[in-house]
Amino acid sequence: MVKRHQVDRVTLKENGMPASFVFRTMEQIESMQHPGQALEPHRHNYYTILWVRKGSGQHHIDFRSYDVKNDTIYFLTPEQVHHVQMNPGAKGFVLLFTPDFLHEQGLSQHWIEDTGFFFRCDDLAPFHLTDEMDSHGLEHLVLHIQEEYIARKPFYLDGIGSWLKLFLLECKRFSQQSSIQVETRTHTKAQIVKQFRDQLENHYHEWHKVADYARELHITPNHLNEVISVETGTSAKDYILNRIMLEAKRYAGFADITAKEVAYTLGFDDPSHFSKLFRQQQNQSFSEFRDHIRKKYH
């Protein structure tokens, strides 16, 4: 048995070759799998949009489990760990695209994050389309993407990029129509939140204190904590801790390395401090959590 030092990572390929965009129907995916085949929990190096038009099952995303329901869209960001268990007969669409594809199509990471659908240190629930939303109009956009993908005319990736942007814009409109509008952030506060999240994603494995991020943003720790708490409902300290614990749980559940190795990987000088912190946050030890997760997913 091969020891896994990292969570299994899947790269985007088409016919065995690297790809920047891939389109599949859920029917195609089901036909490609062997009967009874179940994918292990894994993470991607690409974005995923999974729109279940009709189907049932379970979708596990970073230790949260969701019942699969009709007309539900799941947005997955690179590095998120997920595991889908679908019952036979599902219908829907799967759009897979790399960060490089977005860059080439003029869709910045900032724009993608501003849609509000993709993970950025927060827990984001699946997006359910209600009866009031024009799901057929949304499907029309996806069918244009499918048409471009199959025809492969000159500049077809540019066409796909344009339809994908329209699809995400429509999802954002639906989302804003169905949710309670919150007070608009000032530009300055929005920038602080974004920059903090960016820094956290890049440095959670080495910076564990609010002061580390405040220094990088050229503001005081108190001001950073105040802005993050008011704008997100979570303190900057808890944001940092939650991100560290998420990665620790990913290692515990899906990689074959010890708590001590995880501690050093996540920037802890004292593994016993990491173990104590893990138990405080999860109400169980690292090994107990690992046993629980592996029984659940295997």
Q: Note the pLDDT tens digit of each residue in 68-105.
A: 999 999 998 887 888 888 999 999 999 999 989 998 99
* pLDDT class of 142 with cuts at 50, 70, 90: very high
Average pLDDT over residues 145-161: 97
Verdict on whether the full-model pTM lies above 0.85:
no
For residues 274 and 259, the answer to whether their CB atoms sit within 8 Å is: yes
* pLDDT class of 19 with cuts at 50, 70, 90: very high
For residues 97 and 37, the answer to whether their CB atoms sit within 8 Å is: no
For residues 125 and 65, the answer to whether their CB atoms sit within 8 Å is: no
Between residues 246 and 1, the one the model is more confident about: 246
CA atoms within 13 A on the CB side of 295: 6
Phi-psi region of 89 (alpha: psi -120 to 50; beta: other; left: phi over 0): left
pLDDT over 70 at 123, yes or no: no
Domains of the chain: 9-178 (2.60.120.280), 188-297 (1.10.10.60)
* Percent residues over pLDDT 70 in the chain: 88
Average pLDDT over residues 282-287: 93
Tell me whether strands 47-54 and 57-61 are parallel, antiparallel or unpaired: unpaired
- Which residue(s) pair with 14 in the sheet? 17
pLDDT over 50 at 29, yes or no: yes
